[in-house]
């Protein structure tokens, strides 16, 4: 069995969980850890990610030196949602000849918003002989890859509708804060304007679906509304009174020939019940698929990022998306 040498780049909540998984699964060896947080730099990564034993690997901020010294098969990159912002990091990794699996949301289909930058990264990846993939649960799986895989058994698909209803009460504090828990409607609208409550990735999922189905998108729009509490909600981190915001209701819509043929509906709010993911493929013979309870975001994202490593390492060089790779499966 091959063991993949990986470096964790970014030790926020997702990065920490990926590093924990990588350190404990036999298919992977964690050989380096990169972060710029002064509270983490210099500490043993085992301590930072909550393992009982140190791993003998200090967290370092000098990314280039870590990559040059450890020469990993793949870097697990988890530092941000904006492709433009993380581009210099991706470029650095590629120039150090390491493959990349990143949870950067816009990297799930980077050509959707940044075609020039995507082409530049693709050329660089080919030049250095490495493969770059953006993935995660959403974007990367439940609203794009899974509906596409499901479409294989459809004789004809005329529209794709996905609903993802997530119960935020069971999630970590930053996520509960990010969805506007406890805010007034006015405060929520100000946060939407500032771009801080928005889930990033619906547009990328719509583009990935269209590409996978061979559809030519001629429009995209997105709405974000607050979900208001209809009862007093108490979580480990927030108390929300009736009428206050308890989450976000976001819809991305893709148009083909002027018709809304892709609808991705994400509701993430406190006390959501039932929570579920649901895929509907419309057509002469509609197909429905349900994940009762819904995929837990952090767990699913960390899993797919790590499970993607063997496919990314084996693939021909370049910037790829989930529709380019053979199916990704759980690794030992």
Tokens 């799986």 sit at which residue?
Answer: 141
Nearer residue to its own copies within complex by CB, 75 or 213: 213
Contact with its own copies (CB under 8 A) among 83, 109, 141, 238: 141
Nearer residue to its own copies within complex by CB, 27 or 82: 27
Does residue 11 interact with its own copies by CB under 8 A?
no
Does residue 205 interact with its own copies by CB under 8 A?
no
Nearer residue to its own copies within complex by CB, 106 or 144: 144
Binding mask 45-84 for its own copies (x = CB under 8 A): ----------------------------------------
Task: Confirm if 54 and 46 have CB atoms less than 8 A apart.
Answer: yes
Structure tokens at 225: 């509304």
Does residue 149 interact with its own copies by CB under 8 A?
yes
Residue 106 has a CB neighbour count (10 Å cut-off) of 25
* Shortest distance (Å) from residue 186 CB to its own copies: 37
> Which one-letter DSSP state was computed for residue 77?
E
Contact with its own copies (CB under 8 A) among 12, 13, 25, 43: 25
Which helix (H) or strand (E) covers residue 65, if one does?
A: helix 63-70
Q: What is the dihedral of CA 180, 185, 186, 191, to 10 degrees?
A: 20
The rounded radius of gyration (Å) of the Cα atoms in the chain is 20
Contact with its own copies (CB under 8 A) among 41, 177, 251, 325: 325
Contact with its own copies (CB under 8 A) among 29, 172, 296, 317: 296
Contact with its own copies (CB under 8 A) among 52, 155, 231, 274: 155
Does residue 154 interact with its own copies by CB under 8 A?
yes
Phi, psi of 323 (to 5 degrees): -85, -10
Phi, psi of 79 (to 5 degrees): -120, -15
Nearer residue to its own copies within complex by CB, 152 or 194: 152
**Short-list 51, 43, 42, CA closest to 19:** 51
Does residue 29 interact with its own copies by CB under 8 A?
no
Task: Confirm if 240 and 181 have CB atoms less than 8 A apart.
Answer: yes
Contact with its own copies (CB under 8 A) among 142, 165, 192, 245: 142
Task: Confirm if 261 and 255 have CB atoms less than 8 A apart.
Answer: yes
Does residue 190 interact with its own copies by CB under 8 A?
no
Q: What is the dihedral of CA 133, 106, 76, 329, to 10 degrees?
A: -50
Range in contact with its own copies (rule: CB under 8 A) among 88-96, 151-159, 187-195, 244-252? 151-159
As a whole number of angstroms, the distance between CA 262 and CA 159 comes to 6
Binding residues for its own copies, per CB under 8 A?
A: 1, 21, 25, 137, 141-142, 145-146, 148-157, 212-214, 281, 285, 287-293, 295-296, 299-300, 302-304, 306-308, 322-332
């Amino acid at each position: 069995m091959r063991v993949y040498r990986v470096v964790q780049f970014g030790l926020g909540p997702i990065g920490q969980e990926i590093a924990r998984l990588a350190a404990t699964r036999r298919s992977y060896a964690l050989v380096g850890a990169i972060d710029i947080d002064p509270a983490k730099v210099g500490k043993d990564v085992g301590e930072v990610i909550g393992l009982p034993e140190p791993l003998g690997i200090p967290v370092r901020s000098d990314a280039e030196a870590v990559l040059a010294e450890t020469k990993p098969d793949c870097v697990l990159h988890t530092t941000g949602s904006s492709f433009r912002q993380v581009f210099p990091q991706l470029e650095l990794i590629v120039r150090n000849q390491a493959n990349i699996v990143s949870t950067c949301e816009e990297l799930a289909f980077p050509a959707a918003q940044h075609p020039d930058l995507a082409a530049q990264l693709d050329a660089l990846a080919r030049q250095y002989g490495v493969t770059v993939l953006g993935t995660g649960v959403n974007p990367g799986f439940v609203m794009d890859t899974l509906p596409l895989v499901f479409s294989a058994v459809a004789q004809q698909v005329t529209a794709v509708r996905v609903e993802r209803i997530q119960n935020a009460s069971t999630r970590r504090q930053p996520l509960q804060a990010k969805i506007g828990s406890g805010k007034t409607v006015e405060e929520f609208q100000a946060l939407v304007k500032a771009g801080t409550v928005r889930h990033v990735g619906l547009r990328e999922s719509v583009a990935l679906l269209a590409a996978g189905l061979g559809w030519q998108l001629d429009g995209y729009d997105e709405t974000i509304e607050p979900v208001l509490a209809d009862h007093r909600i108490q979580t480990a981190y927030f108390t929300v009174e009736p009428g206050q915001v308890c989450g976000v209701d976001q819809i991305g819509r893709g148009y083909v020939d002027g018709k809304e043929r892709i609808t991705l509906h994400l509701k993430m709010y406190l006390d959501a019940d039932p929570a579920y993911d649901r895929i509907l493929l419309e057509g002469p013979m509609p197909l429905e698929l349900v994940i009762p309870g819904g995929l837990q975001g952090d767990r699913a994202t960390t899993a797919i990022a790590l499970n993607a490593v063997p496919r990314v390492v084996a693939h021909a060089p370049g910037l790829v998306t989930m529709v380019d790779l053979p199916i990704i499966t759980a690794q030992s």
